[in-house]
Amino acid sequence: MTTIDEYRQGFAEDPGYLDFASFGPMSKAVLAEQNALGEIHARGRYGAGSVFDEQDIRVREAVRRLTGFPTDRVVFQPNASMGLFHAMFGLTGQVLYSAREYPSIPVAAQRAAQALHSVDSITMQPPQGVVTPEVVRDNLTPATTAVAVSLVDYRTGYRSDLEGIRDVIGDRLLIVDAIQGFGVVEAAYELADVVVAGGQKWVRAGWGTGFLALSERAATDLVPLISGVTGTIVPLGSSYEEVPPPLQGAAAFQVTRTDPIAQARFATALEGIADVGVGAISGAITETVSSIIDLADEFALPVISSRDESERAGIVVLEPEPPQVTAITASLINHGITATVRDGLVRLSAHVSTGGETLGALRGALTSYATTVQY
């Protein structure tokens, strides 16, 4: 086992970085793995290609350790969005989701509806954008066959209650976009039928990494409509003169040969998370998030993300008065704080490597901002 301090020392981003909900700088181990396999790739030594072939089962085993889905129901994806397209295009019936979801879910659902006319895209308007079991229950119809939610909402930082949502939707398919919490939030993934995530945010594996995991029912019921050559049954020695049928299960949901170096980056990051434990990572982030909330309170900045530890992950959302948005944005920039400012909201997102120097820079930014505010 790796201690949380050992895990923390595996990162080297500059102080002031508070934007992990956008992307997380890669760990030292991930960078080293990329460089090592890149060197093998560059040399092309005889027999060295076998290391690339090994990365597929390696990454699926790493996903299994964190989600509980067996490796034969996990398939690597180049990003979370591709996994959602596979899921939405494989559905029939009505899929329900929040109109305020990150576009990955709505775009995939609407494209499937436009292209196939066998799936109906229905949205709900949850208060404050928070998808609760009660909101889901009130928007279900007899035609609803699937419900899609984010594990953690990108706008509000709210962590979905998967257990409660599963209770209210019954045997409908539950699709979870886990990208904003995967690797830093303990979640009941076994309650979901479809789980997708990318590795560029909290996993800190870089772009071009992700997975799609399916329940036994989803692996059987979803139609692998977007199934390319690597997702098909190609007999050994085939001349490719006929279009082969898709494979069975999760393996069907792939288009072409994946990037084995991306798989290795993702596997390295996931193995590191599994070794330290998601619970330990979550606990460390919880403490840092509490410190950020305390700073916001000290400077009278409204916190609109949840203060309840059971409802939050690594995101803190501040809502300054509209005339003050420019001032706080400038102050954050001037003090070297990397954050997201959108629609008048300031989103700060922390990881285990967010240390005292970053919190000190944030304090400096808020102190400077406070001098510009007239009461």
Q: Judge if 118 and 169 occupy the same domain.
A: yes
Residue 232 lies in a domain: yes
User: Residue 56 corresponds to which amino acid?
Assistant: D
Domain termination site, one of 276, 309, 337: 276
- Which CATH number covers residue 183? 3.40.640.10
Q: Judge if 10 and 42 occupy the same domain.
A: no
Residue 249 lies in a domain: yes
Q: Judge if 166 and 303 occupy the same domain.
A: no
Are the C-beta atoms of residues 215 and 194 closer than 8 Å to each other? yes
Domain termination site, one of 258, 276, 294: 276
Q: How many CB atoms are located within 10 Å of the residue 15 CB?
A: 17
Residue 145 lies in a domain: yes
Specify the pLDDT at position 375.
54
Residue 337 lies in a domain: yes
Q: Judge if 20 and 73 occupy the same domain.
A: no
Q: Judge if 247 and 327 occupy the same domain.
A: no
Instruction: Give the pairing type, strands 74-76 and 210-214.
Output: antiparallel
The pTM for the full model equals 0.95
Q: Cα dist. 282→28, 309, 352 in Å?
A: 20, 10, 8
Specify the pLDDT at position 235.
65
Residue 199 lies in a domain: yes
Instruction: For the chain, give the number of residues.
Output: 375
Q: Judge if 11 and 152 occupy the same domain.
A: no
Residue 68 lies in a domain: yes
Instruction: Give the pairing type, strands 315-318 and 210-214.
Output: unpaired
Q: Judge if 134 and 36 occupy the same domain.
A: yes
Q: Judge if 200 and 94 occupy the same domain.
A: yes
CA 13 – CA 78 distance, rounded (Å):
24
E-strand spans in the chain?
74-76, 93-98, 119-124, 144-150, 173-177, 194-198, 210-214, 315-318, 340-342, 345-349
- pLDDT, averaged per 10 consecutive residues of the chain (375 residues), comes to 95 98 98 96 89 96 98 97 97 95 95 88 88 96 96 95 98 98 97 98 98 97 92 72 87 94 98 98 98 97 95 96 95 97 96 98 96 72
Q: Which domain holds residue 351?
A: 4-26+277-370
Residue 375 lies in a domain: no
Residue 131 lies in a domain: yes
- Residue 222 CB burial class (10 angstroms; 0-12, 13-18, ≥19): buried
| Token pair for 57 | 């089962």
- Which CATH number covers residue 329? 3.90.1150.10
The b/e string for 64-97 (b: 16+ C-beta within 10 A; e otherwise) is bebbebbbebbbbbbbbbbbbbbbbbbbeebbbb
Domain termination site, one of 276, 294, 312: 276
CA 358 – CA 182 distance, rounded (Å):
23
As for how many domains the chain has, the answer is 2
Q: Judge if 130 and 256 occupy the same domain.
A: yes
Q: Judge if 340 and 270 occupy the same domain.
A: no
Q: Judge if 181 and 322 occupy the same domain.
A: no
Q: Judge if 70 and 134 occupy the same domain.
A: yes
